[in-house]
């Protein structure tokens, strides 16, 4: 069976935004699975005359070399290539290769590559009334304490934004990949809080412009303690709406985490809703359904759908969805309910940010999405 490719798109007179979720086929080798995934993605991107702006690869450490080799064979070293985020998860029920997510845009303009410290890690796309910037796999290397790396990582991303006369106030969405998350998540939150206060995102007199975010226990393939991805909307400036409390959950900053529950941004083809990593947590920030995977899964999905409803987004508008499962047993339970929703699922096995959390979900939705 060949790789399964889920394609969601939204179109405007100036651009088409394309979201791809590629799932490996069955009954074939890891090398064949990897090649089929990237050949399929390349065919879609070429057929739509699109450029990849962001790409995430979820797989076990053992499968990464096969994926990197297949990706190089397919994409080569062309200028259109973009270094993705290689994210290491435990082996799930589907095998060592998880899924690949791609965000691409087709327009008359071509994106410009962005390099940070010699690492080609992003794209900036300038259209008549829109400018969007993406960064992937930003890290500070392997040396130093985790908190030192986290601070350097945030500063590196901030410096990249500054090159384009921007800052974190233009960022609707971040992803924080935190290796060994359970040993230092509180410390990470303190580093991020301090950084955001210094940059005017939170604190007295601000409007709490905290990006929607995911902080999850996946390790970056480069061996660092932490890495991050982000999307920034530089134009139209100031157009992003940050929703600290929405749906069934209150502001995460009240218990020390500086992120919004969701954000809504104007992107080249429409309005995009970014729903942060969401779990079985009540309005007071307390974990619910402790020890009960099925109940945590159902509550988490209810919480995400409540956010989407408040944002006037439908299930059919979801273009990317990731389910983070603490163990393969939790994943098995999730498999029994995942097909109840028409979301293009990625599933990763990893630690969540609290020892008593078994499951977390994030989604991206674009109103008016078409599914192929």
More confident position, 270 or 248: 270
- What does the block give as tokens for 320? 């990317």
Q: Using CA atoms, how far apart are residues 30 and 36, in angstroms rounded to an integer?
A: 10
φ, ψ (nearest 5 deg) of residue 117: 55, 40
217 pLDDT higher than 80: yes
Query: What CATH number does residue 103 fall under?
Result: 3.30.1330.40
303-314 per-position pLDDT tens digit: 999 999 999 999
DSSP summary character for residue 199 = T
**Phi and psi of 163, rounded to 5°?**
-60, -25
Confidence check: pLDDT of 80 > 80: no
Q: Is the pLDDT of residue 79 over 50?
A: no
> In this model, does residue 174 exceed pLDDT 70?
yes
Average pLDDT over every residue of 75-92: 81
> 364, 315 in Cβ contact below 8 A?
no
DSSP class per residue in 106-124: EESS-PEEEEETTEEEEEE
Q: What is the pLDDT of residues 107-154, one digit of tens each?
A: 999 999 998 888 888 999 999 899 999 999 999 888 899 999 999 999
Containing domain of residue 166, as a range? Answer: 4-371
pTM of the predicted protein model: 0.96
Q: What is the mean pLDDT of residues 266-278?
A: 95
User: What is the helix, strand, coil percentage profile of the chain, to 5?
Assistant: 30, 35, 35
Count of the separate structural domains present in the chain: 1
Task: Dump pLDDT digits (tens) for 25-44.
Answer: 887 899 999 999 999 999 99
Provide mean pLDDT across the span 283-289.
90
Does 350 sit behind a cis peptide bond, omega within 30 degrees of 0 on the bond before it? Answer: no
Instruction: Give the list of residues 6+ apart from residue 207 with CB closer than 8 angstroms, or none.
Output: 242
What is the predicted pLDDT for the residue at 296?
98
Q: H helices then E strands: how many in the chain? A: 6, 19
Q: For residues 86 and 96, give the distance between their C-alpha atoms in angstroms, rounded to a whole number.
A: 13
Q: How confident is the model at residue 81 (pLDDT cuts 50, 70, 90)?
A: low
């Amino acid at each position: 069976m060949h790789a399964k490719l889920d394609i969601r798109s939204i179109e405007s007179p100036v651009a088409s935004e394309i979201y791809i979720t590629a799932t490996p086929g069955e009954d074939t080798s890891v090398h064949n699975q990897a090649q089929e995934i990237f050949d399929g993605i390349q065919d879609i991107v070429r057929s739509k005359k699109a450029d990849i702006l962001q790409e995430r690869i979820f797989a076990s450490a053992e499968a990464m070399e096969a994926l990197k080799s297949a990706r190089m064979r397919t994409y080569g070293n062309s200028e259109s290539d973009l270094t993705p985020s290689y994210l290491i998860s435990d082996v799930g029920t589907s095998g060592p290769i998880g899924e690949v997510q791609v965000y691409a845009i087709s327009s008359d303009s071509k994106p410009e590559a962005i390099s940070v410290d010699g690492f080609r890690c992003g794209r900036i796309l300038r259209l008549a009334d829109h400018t969007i910037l993406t960064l992937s796999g930003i890290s500070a290397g392997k040396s130093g304490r985790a908190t030192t790396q986290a601070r350097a990582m945030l500063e590196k991303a901030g410096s990249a934004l500054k090159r384009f006369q921007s800052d974190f106030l233009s960022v609707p969405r971040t992803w924080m990949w935190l290796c060994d998350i359970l040993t230092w998540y509180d410390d990470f939150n303190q580093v991020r809080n301090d950084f955001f206060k210094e940059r005017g995102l939170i604190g007295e007199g601000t409007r709490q412009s905290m990006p929607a975010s995911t902080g999850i226990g996946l390790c970056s393939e480069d061996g660092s303690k932490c890495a991050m991805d982000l999307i920034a909307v530089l134009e139209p400036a100031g157009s992003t709406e940050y929703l600290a409390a929405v749906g069934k959950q209150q502001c995460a900053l009240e218990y020390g985490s500086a992120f919004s529950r969701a954000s809504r941004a104007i992107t080249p083809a429409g309005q995009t809703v970014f729903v942060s990593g969401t779990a079985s947590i009540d309005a007071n920030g307390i974990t619910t359904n402790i020890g009960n995977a099925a109940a945590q899964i159902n509550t988490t999905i209810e919480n995400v759908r409540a956010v989407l409803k408040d944002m006037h987004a439908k299930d059919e508008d979801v273009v990317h969805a990731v389910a983070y499962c603490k163990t393969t047993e939790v994943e098995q339970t999730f498999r029994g309910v995942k097909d109840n929703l028409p979301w293009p699922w990625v599933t990763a096995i990893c630690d969540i940010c609290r020892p008593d959390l078994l499951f977390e979900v994030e989604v991206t939705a674009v109103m008016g999405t078409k599914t192929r």
